[in-house]
Amino acid sequence: MLISNYSDTVTIIAELNDDVESFLVHKELVYHYSPVLKAAFESPFIEGQSQVYKLDDTRPETVRLLIGWLYTQQLSGRIGIGSETETALNEANMYRRVLAELWILADKLLMPRLQNATIRLLETVNIKIFSLRKDFDTRFTYEDVKYIYDNTSAESALRMLCVLPHISAQANDNLPIGSYRSLPAEFWINVATFAIKLVSSEEKPLVGASPANPGLLEAREL
C-alpha cells in the first residue's frame, strides 16, 4: 500500500510489566489493515483525542512484528532455525510464543491477513523444529497452551497448532504428560478428535503442515 501522507501518524504503545515501547506508525496503514484501530483513533474517546493506542499485557516484540508486517506484508523472525543446539531450539520455542501472541493480537484487531501469515510461519517453525531434532519436545509449553486456549475460540487454527505437536510428541517419543493433565478439557477433546482424524487419514502428516491437515482453519480475509 502506498502512503500519501507521511506526516499523519499515530502512536501504539506496547507494555508488559516493566517492558514498554512506543511505535510511531503511519495512520493510513493502520486504518487500511485494522478496522478496530481505525474506529479507536476516530472515536471521541481518549484514543481518538490523543491519537495513542495502548496495548496492555503485550510484549513489545510482538507489536514490533505487527508494525513490520504493516509496512512489508512479511514477518521477519528474530532467529533462523538452522542449528540443532538445545539453546537454538529453546529460542525457537520462545519465538513460537511470540507468534502465538501475535495471532491473538491480530484476532483482536480484526486483521485476518496477519493472522494467516502468522499461522503459516508457525507451521514452518513447527516443521523445522521437528525435522532438526526428533528427540526435542516439540509441544507448546503448558503455559503457552493454557494462554492460547484462554484467548481463542473453538476450532481456531492456533488451537490446532497446539494439538498437532502434542500428538506427534506423544506418539513418537512417549513423553510424560506431567502438568499437561491440568489443561482445559477442550484441549484434550481436540487432541482426541484430531488424533482420530490423523489415524484414519491415508496421508501421513507433517507436524503442523496444513496441506496434509485439512482440518487446520485459517482466518477469513476481508
The residue that leads in pLDDT, 61 or 162, is: 61
Query: Rg of the chain's alpha carbons, rounded to an integer?
Result: 19
CB-CB contact of 99 with 121 (8 Å):
yes
What pLDDT is stored for residue 41 in this prediction?
98
In this prediction, residues 145-174 reach a mean pLDDT of 81
Burial class of residue 112 (count of CB atoms within 10 Å of its CB; 0-12, 13-18, 19+)? middle
Instruction: Report the 10 Å Cβ neighbour count for 137.
Output: 16
Cα–Cα distance, 174 to 189 (Å, whole number): 19
Give me the sign of the Cα torsion angle 128, 130, 135, 140. positive
Cα–Cα distance, 45 to 92 (Å, whole number): 39
What pLDDT is stored for residue 35 in this prediction?
97
Biggest CA–CA distance in the chain, Å, is: 57
Does the structure show a pLDDT above 60 at 83? no
What pLDDT is stored for residue 205 in this prediction?
43
Beta strands in the chain (DSSP E): 9-16, 19-26, 52-56
Pairing state of beta strands 19-26 and 9-16?
antiparallel
In this prediction, residues 146-168 reach a mean pLDDT of 87
In this prediction, residues 87-97 reach a mean pLDDT of 79
Could you tell me the residue ranges of all domains in the chain? 8-73, 75-222
Does the structure show a pLDDT above 50 at 157? yes
Q: What is the per-residue pLDDT across 4-57, written as a single tens digit (0 to 9) for each?
A: 888 899 999 999 999 999 999 999 999 999 999 999 999 999 999 999 999 999
